[in-house]
C-alpha cells in the first residue's frame, strides 16, 4: 500500500525541486539537523531583544509600523555586522561597487539595464 504524503510534505518536496531546477541552494538546514530554523530563531530573538521588549504600542498598526521600520530601515540597511567587516549592509555594498567598477550598481541602474545584464 502506497503511503500518502501530507500536503505540507508535498509542498516542501516541490519547493526543494523548484530550487534545484533553478540552481539555487536552500539557505536553511534540513529537517532534523541542528541548523533547522536557527537563522530565523536568531533573527526573531534579536528583534524581540532590541525592539519588542523595550517598547509598547497602543495599536496593532503602531506595532506593525515599528517592526517594519526596524527591519527595513535599520536591521537590513544600517546595522553593522561582524561578517561585513563591521560595516552596515549599505556601506558594504557601496564599497563593493566602488572596488568592482565594471559591475552595474543596482542603485544607479534602470530596470531595463538590470534586465540586460
Residues 86 and 104 in one domain: yes
Domain count, the chain: 2
Give the global pTM: 0.49
Question: What is the pLDDT confidence band of residue 77, given thresholds at 50, 70 and 90?
Answer: confident
Whether residue 10 lies inside any domain: the answer is no
Is the distance from CB of 73 to CB of 65 less than 8 angstroms? no
pLDDT reading at 109 higher than 60? no
Whether residue 104 lies inside any domain: the answer is yes
pLDDT reading at 5 higher than 60? no
H or E element at residue 97? helix 89-99
- Output the nine-digit C-alpha cell for 10: 508535498
Whether residue 87 lies inside any domain: the answer is yes
Whether residue 55 lies inside any domain: the answer is yes
Q: Which domain holds residue 89?
A: 80-117
Residues 69 and 86 in one domain: no
Amino acid at each position: 500500500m502506497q503511503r500518502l504524503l501530507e500536503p505540507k510534505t508535498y509542498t516542501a518536496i516541490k519547493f526543494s525541486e523548484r530550487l534545484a531546477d533553478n540552481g539555487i541552494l536552500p539557505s536553511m538546514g534540513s529537517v532534523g539537523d541542528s541548523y533547522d530554523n536557527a537563522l530565523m530563531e536568531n533573527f526573531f530573538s534579536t528583534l524581540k531583544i532590541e525592539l519588542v521588549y523595550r517598547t509598547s504600542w497602543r495599536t496593532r498598526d503602531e506595532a506593525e509600523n515599528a517592526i517594519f521600520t526596524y527591519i527595513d530601515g535599520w536591521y537590513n540597511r544600517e546595522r553593522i555586522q561582524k561578517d561585513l567587516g563591521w560595516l552596515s549592509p549599505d556601506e558594504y555594498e557601496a564599497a563593493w561597487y566602488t572596488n568592482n567598477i565594471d559591475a552595474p550598481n543596482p542603485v544607479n541602474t534602470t530596470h531595463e539595464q538590470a534586465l540586460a545584464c
